[in-house]
């Protein structure tokens, strides 16, 4: 059902500082900063040979990642995003199998302009999973 690993997201306390670590320290190309108000975050993507790394920074204390940052003030891995060809079919299959879709189950538009949903980390061994329709 799942396709390619689209990205691994890392929540960070300071997006510009984290971007500099990857750019200056590792020689990575860091994309432009995007504000995703509906998701409560600012993001920047780093392209690597076989996937991307998404750096996430909370817009404010109402951000969905604010509680994660409160528990992990230095940041850390936040989620993994997998591509799926049919998001609705994937959600139906997962819900039928007992997985929980976060929020009201309505896909939102993600950073790549495509529909996304998040799956409860307790249903995937403690890992928050994002599904993105491609």
Please list the active-site residues.
Answer: 130
Q: Are 131 and 116 in contact (CB under 8 A)?
A: yes
The one-character DSSP state at 50 is S
Q: Looking at the DSSP assignment, which residues form a beta bridge with residue 54? A: 9, 45
- Measure the CA–CA gap between 127 and 129, rounded to whole angstroms: 6
How many of the other CB atoms lie within 10 Å of CB of 40? 18
Q: Looking at the DSSP assignment, which residues form a beta bridge with residue 130? A: 81, 118
Q: How far is CA 118 from the centre of its chain?
A: 8
């Amino acid at each position: 059902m799942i396709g390619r690993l689209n990205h691994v997201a890392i929540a960070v306390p300071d997006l510009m500082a984290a971007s500099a670590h990857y750019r200056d320290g590792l020689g990575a190309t860091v994309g432009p900063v995007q504000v995703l108000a509906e998701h409560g975050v600012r993001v920047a993507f780093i392209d690597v040979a076989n996937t991307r790394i998404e750096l996430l920074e909370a817009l404010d204390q109402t951000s969905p990642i604010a509680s994660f940052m409160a528990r992990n003030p230095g940041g850390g891995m936040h989620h993994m995003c997998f591509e799926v060809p049919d998001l609705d079919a994937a959600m139906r299959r997962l819900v039928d199998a007992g997985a929980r879709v976060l929020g009201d189950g309505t896909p939102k538009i993600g950073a790549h302009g495509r529909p996304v949903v998040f799956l409860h980390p307790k249903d995937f061994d403690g890992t928050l999973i994002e599904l993105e329709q491609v």
